[in-house]
Amino acid sequence: MLKIEKSSEMVGFAAAAMVAKQLIKKPDSVIALPTGATPISMYETIVKFVKYGIISIEKAQLFNLDEYVGLTREDPMSFAYYMEKHLLSRIERVQHNIPATDTKDPEREASDYEEKIEKAGGFDLCLLGIGIDGHIGFNEPGTPFSSITHVAHLHPSTIERNSKEFGRGRIVPDIAITVGIKTIMKSRHIVLMATGVEKSSILKESLFGEITSDVPASVLQLHPNLTILVDKECAAKVISNASEFHRMNL
């Protein structure tokens, strides 16, 4: 299902509403979470939902999708820091997992993380953003669809884009640990968020193009329970004519 929202904030609100729905149905849900600019408004809304007593996350098990290798948890560029800032420090105690950032044995950390996800029963809900090269989590172009949690080597375009966030004088790590594509695809429900015109071409290619590991997000076409949340800016190019609207039952 494709849902077009008025603004990027509304995309975040709609994603948070899906998290809420999932937690009301199953308070001990296992939920996979993304980072990046796109989901910030989702986290803001989740914090509000918790504060107003609409939902409780206490019983849920949260798993972040990925983390850079080589950064400490305290590093403002680590995803652990991002999660503290946008969610964890602002709500009740919660069971939160993220691959260790400063591990000496990333391969081992990746396989332990996969085991933890499996022990938890896999993801009930997996929230995703999308990279401009079509990556999901840090599954870069060329990652096999059969991949489980693994050590990923980042694509030059990802490093270049992320270097803007790291700022001058800081080297972007070129290695990360990411939940794999197979693990993501086993999720009972996947919600993909994409906002802004910058993401529209890759989203279009992912949704309507060939299903290929060159465009990792294209695998999502095979998922039986996928929700795509986009803002108007992103949707404009994705659905470029009326027949596509019609075809997608919009």
Q: Which residues bind ligand GLP (CB under 6 A)?
A: 34-38, 65-66, 129-131, 137-138, 158
Q: Which is nearer to ligand GLP, 126 or 239 (CB)?
A: 126
Find, among 107, 91, 84, 19, the residue nearest to 58 by Cα: 91
Q: Which is nearer to ligand GLP, 60 or 173 (CB)?
A: 173
Least distance CB 125 / ligand GLP (angstroms): 15
Tell me if 43 sits within 8 A of 96, measured CB to CB.
Answer: no
Q: Which two tokens stand for residue 150?
A: 């693994």
Q: Which is nearer to ligand GLP, 43 or 49 (CB)?
A: 43
Q: Which is nearer to ligand GLP, 26 or 96 (CB)?
A: 96
Phi/psi at 78 (5° precision): -75, 155
Q: Which is nearer to ligand GLP, 75 or 244 (CB)?
A: 75
Least distance CB 37 / ligand GLP (angstroms): 4
Least distance CB 243 / ligand GLP (angstroms): 29
- CB neighbour class for 37 (10 Å; exposed up to 12, middle 13-18, buried from 19): exposed
Least distance CB 131 / ligand GLP (angstroms): 4
Tell me if 194 sits within 8 A of 38, measured CB to CB.
Answer: yes
Least distance CB 221 / ligand GLP (angstroms): 18
